[in-house]
Structure 1
Amino acid sequence: MDSHLNIIAGFKNGKSYVKDLYVSLPFRCVSVGQRKNDGKLYQMIMSSSPGILDGDHYHLKVSLEKGASLQLQSQSYQRLFNMKDKAVQELDIVLEDETSFAYVPHPVVPHEDSNFKSEAKIHIGKNSQIIISEIITCGRKHYGEVFKLKRFQNLTEIYHENKLIVKDNILIQPDLIPINSIGNLEQHTHQGTFIFFSTKDDVKRDELIDNIVEYAERYQGEMEIGVSAMENNGFIIRSLGNGGEIMYNFFLHVQEVLWNLN
């Protein structure tokens, strides 16, 4: 099924709002965070489908006009069902100047024989920032489906002034790359990636990283967490663990800290 979600966030009188929204089945997009008075826009992506099915092709487009701030939220864990062929997701994000966008979805659960590829292309303007993450689980562990997926790939590219600034490629293919090998997931069952990139001049990147590393110490024994600084104003968090909820809550905390910068 070809499915579409297009959302444009506008900015007027000091507040962000939904300027345009188009969805097709199985998507819905609803407002959340109505009690917040920060002038930012909060939307939740919902789906009437139990998960991503064989042959699905998701087209997601997000545009933020100058001054807008949009935080997207997910409804629940994203299941990737058994597939004979594959499923694809394309995410296109365009951030004009002085914008802020965040998307920290729930973990992905790949079922046995699932084959999924996600591509995200992000164009960011001046004095703007983006927060985007992903958590991939081993599958339905209690059903004995520990990394029995065929293939999972998530490719993320961030461009600024038509120049590629960030490229991140996650590939899990157990029959090609031993998942438990050294330098891979080893004995862990969950992997998380959190990307923060800003084109603002006043971002105290090193101070933010120090605070995140200090906060992460409380998860010793539950997760392995590392932070890599980018050449520019940004960083990537990698996490390994054995549970999706604790990793997801950690990412939500980091998102909240970064979201309140502007």
Structure 2
Amino acid sequence: MISELKILTGKRATGTYLKECYCTRPFKIANVREEPSDPVLRLMMMSSSPGMLDKDHYRMDITVAAGTALHLQTQAYQRLFHMTAGAKQEMTVHLQPGSTFTFLPHPMVPHEKATYTGYTNIHLSADCRLVWGEIITCGRKLNGEVFRFTRLQSITHVYAAGQLLLRDNLLMQPGFTDFQAMGWMEGYTHQATFLFFDTHEKVSLNETADRLHRYLEEQQGILAGVTHTRGNGIMVRLLGHSGEQLYECQQQLARLLSA
């Protein structure tokens, strides 16, 4: 089933509002902004489906208009069920000049024999801030489904002014990949990616990267690395044993960006 979600923000004197929204089943968007004076538009992406099923195809298109700020949340963990043909998600994000977008979804849980491919393309303009994350678990760990899915691939591109700043291609194939090998999971079961880009002129992220690194060094049960990317960005890769821990860790990393 093809499912679509489109979001366009708008700017008012009081802050950001939802200018346009279109979604088909199983998607639904809820405004979860608690304070009317909050200039940031806070939306929750909800779904009436328990997760992605075989042959599901999600298409998401998000445009954050000039001078607006959007914080998009998810409702719960994203489950990928038993599949034959597989499921696919395509997400395109456009940040117009002076905009801010934050998206730190709940962890993805691939069930036994799940097959999934995700494509994310993010386009940045001048004076933008992007906070983006992804968490992939080994499966239903408490049920004994540790790396029992068939194939999972997540491809992320970040562009600015038509130039490619970052390409991240994560491919996990149990049976073909030795997850315990050096350079892979090394005994951990969950992995996460955290991205931060700031395209304002003359902004240095050296101090920000050091702040994130100091926080991560204090966390127990997590292995993490922080690196600078092209285009004034920071990429953090995390390994852990709990999706909830990595999720909370990413939330804290986002809070540290404005510290």
Distance in 1 separating the partners of 2:237 and 2:42: 26
Q: After the TM superposition, which of the residue ranges 237-246 and 174-183 deviates more from structure 2?
A: 174-183
Paired position in structure 2 for 1:154 = 154
Contact 2:226 2:234 (8 Å CA) reproduced: yes
Distance in 1 separating the partners of 2:180 and 2:79: 22
Paired position in structure 2 for 1:69 = 69
Distance in 2 separating the partners of 1:202 and 1:78: 38
Paired position in structure 1 for 2:112 = 112
Superposed CA RMSD in Å reads 1.3
Distance in 2 separating the partners of 1:71 and 1:256: 13
Matched ranges for 1:134-145 at <5 A: 134-145=134-145
Paired position in structure 1 for 2:224 = 225
Paired position in structure 2 for 1:185 = 185
Q: After the TM superposition, which of the residue ranges 107-116 and 231-240 deviates more from structure 2?
A: 231-240
**Aligned-pair CA distance for 1:175:** 2.1
Distance in 1 separating the partners of 2:129 and 2:122: 11
**Aligned-pair CA distance for 1:202:** 4.5
- Structure 2 gap segments, 5+ residues each: none
Paired position in structure 1 for 2:249 = 250
AA of the residue aligned to 1:179: F
Matched ranges for 1:7-156 at <5 A: 7-35=7-35, 37-156=37-156
1:64-116 per-residue CA deviation (whole Å, 9 max, x = no partner) reads 11101101001011100000111000001111100000100010000000000
AA of the residue aligned to 2:148: K
Distance in 1 separating the partners of 2:200 and 2:76: 32
**Aligned-pair CA distance for 1:37:** 3.1
1:144-190 per-residue CA deviation (whole Å, 9 max, x = no partner) reads 11001111111110111111111111111112221221111121000
AA of the residue aligned to 2:113: D
Distance in 2 separating the partners of 1:19 and 1:256: 27
Contact 2:5 2:24 (8 Å CA) reproduced: yes
AA of the residue aligned to 1:3: S
**Aligned-pair CA distance for 1:214:** 1.2
1:121-153 per-residue CA deviation (whole Å, 9 max, x = no partner) reads 111110001111101001011211100111111
Distance in 1 separating the partners of 2:12 and 2:147: 47
AA of the residue aligned to 2:227: S
Contact 2:211 2:256 (8 Å CA) reproduced: no
Matched ranges for 1:199-210 at <5 A: 199-210=199-210
| CA 155–36 in structure 1, closer or farther in 2 if over 3 Å, else same | farther
Distance in 2 separating the partners of 1:235 and 1:177: 27
Q: After the TM superposition, which of the residue ranges 249-258 and 138-147 deviates more from structure 2?
A: 249-258
Distance in 2 separating the partners of 1:257 and 1:225: 16
Distance in 2 separating the partners of 1:170 and 1:231: 19
Distance in 2 separating the partners of 1:202 and 1:145: 48
Normalized against structure 2, the TM-score is what?
0.97
- Structure 1 gap segments, 5+ residues each: none
**Aligned-pair CA distance for 1:13:** 1.4
SS of residue matched to 1:228: strand
